[in-house]
Amino acid sequence: MASINENIGFNLKKIRKDRGLTLESLSSQSGVSKSMISEIERGIRNPSISILWNLANTLKTPLNFFLKDPVPDTAVIYRAGTLPDITGPGYCYHPLMNFDDTKRIELYSGVFYPGGCTTEQIHYTGVEEYTLIASGNLTLHLADSVYTVKTGEILHFTGDKPHWYCNEGTDETHVFVMMYYPDT
């Protein structure tokens, strides 16, 4: 099994080349330096989440795409805790499976601790989020609107507007999130 940095580098280089982009053109479009992209692709640089989000949005691909191992052409069993978590102040997402190139989805479980909020995100046009609240309450700030959902309810929205989640309650909130990424 390759290291996380090797997976990120391999997958970044693959998608860049598949799309016919040079290091220079990806650098120009993303604002990430050519040398940084080259080091990431060679697996010698550990990029920050913000740089990966920037590259993912520029390439119109999910963040989880960069983390995945090559998948064999057989049945795959995903085990919790085998993929790297995505964490922030007061929340943690656990990828449940690698990004599926053919279905264009990724699946996460997550926990929001009391007072925990994600940072504001804007995905590319057509990206959809489905968030099932397994337990607790969660507030979605979407553009100029606010939605609060509770256990058993599902949020669905297009992610190409500024949005972020907050747990404004006093108990943990557990969620499942499915992201859909349209073909570019």
Burial class of 64 by CB neighbour count within 10 A (0 to 12, 13 to 18, 19+): buried
Residue 60's region, left for phi above 0, alpha for psi from -120 to 50, else beta, is left
Residue with tokens 């349209």: 182
Question: Tokens representing 131?
Answer: 């968030």
d(CA 9, CA 78): 22
Q: Return all residues near 76 (Cβ < 8 A) that are at least 6 apart.
A: 97, 98
| Both tokens assigned to 181 | 């990424």
Q: Indicate if the pLDDT at residue 101 is higher than 80.
A: no
Report the share of the chain in percent with pLDDT over 70: 95
Over residues 113-152, the pLDDT tens digits come to 999 999 999 998 999 999 999 999 999 999 999 999 999 9
